[in-house]
Amino acid sequence: MTGRTMPGRMMTGRTRRVVTGACLLAVVALAGIGSEADAGSPPSAAARLVASMRTATAQTDFSGEVTVAWRNVDGHLKHSTVDVHAANGVLEVTADGQVVLDEGGHTFLKDDLGWTSPVSEPTAQHRPSPDMRWRLALHHGTSHDRDVSTVVATRRDGSVAARLVIDDATHLPLARQVLDVHGRVLRSFEFVTLDLAPGDVAPVAAAVPSDTSHTATAIGHVPSGYHAPNVAGAGYTLVSRSRHDDGVHLVYSDGLFTASVTEQRGELDWDSMPSGGASTDIDGVHARRYVEAAGDVLVWERDGVVYTCVSDAPTDVLASMAAGLTPDRSAVTQVADFVLGPFAFG
């Protein structure tokens, strides 16, 4: 892409959905929290349980109400409640006149303007087991009148980065918390009502649209003019790379958290960016950060490439990765300061 890059064009695929339908998509993300572990290292019982959540959401019929909470750029906690309904492998989430459908990892958003869909991305390759980076502890108890297992992921300093409450019978995630290094909850969801009786779950009401998707092309390496950094030092593995009309999309994972990076050639049109972001400079280059229910969005431009990084990770985790995404090492400290900021996020 050449010329000025507009926000509507820049925030394509999953990035755009995070900004426009974050509360709904935070719940749709239940289908993608888990991941298949890298076969190179036998995962622990806790890691296997985390991985099993991915297929559990697609294989279990259920309905319920979920509360979602997140801290905005000012550090204030925001809340939203959504209805969740899954049947025959289709997950439907509704709130405030919007509907999100997810079928086999392909997500559709419907609002008062009609249906929209991201680019249909290629399936990610094997992701690392979460216990390759995180110390995982497994606890057993009850929640929602059901037997559950709680997976607690801690940093090397012993602080908790995430808690996942998983139903023992179905392996559905019933609650999730993402925490900063001080123990403050940055982002969370929790079922407040849940019906797992298959006979009581009706078919998904909305029909999955068939003509709103665009297919991306899987690529083995990024084209000239783009940058696919190695951020293994930050604990992340590149699990998917694709090319579409708007540029290049890269997906990184550490087994527990995911970072989605979109790169586009062009000049960023700052005046047309959505409101609600926090602005700063990165080594003299303007940057902006957004905090949404489904993830945090970091946007900057360097050397004719617009970078949009979206992640559900805690502040310090995303900061370590953002450093690797910045070609100019002199900007790393300012990137970290920008991401960390006075108000942490998840």
- Mark out the alpha helices in the chain (DSSP H runs): 7-10, 13-20, 22-28, 45-59, 315-325, 332-340
pTM value > 0.85:
no
Contact 9, 272 (CB under 8 A): no
Residue 124: what pLDDT? Answer: 66
User: What are 95's two structure tokens?
Assistant: 């709130």
Residue 343: what pLDDT? Answer: 27
Alpha carbons 294 and 163: distance in angstroms, whole number = 16
Residue 120: what pLDDT? Answer: 63
| Domains assigned to the chain | 216-340 (3.40.1000)
The rounded Cα 278 to chain-centroid distance in angstroms is 20
* Residue segments in the chain with a per-residue pLDDT below the cut of 70: 1-42, 104-105, 111, 113, 117-125, 197-215, 280-285, 322-346
Residue 323: what pLDDT? Answer: 64
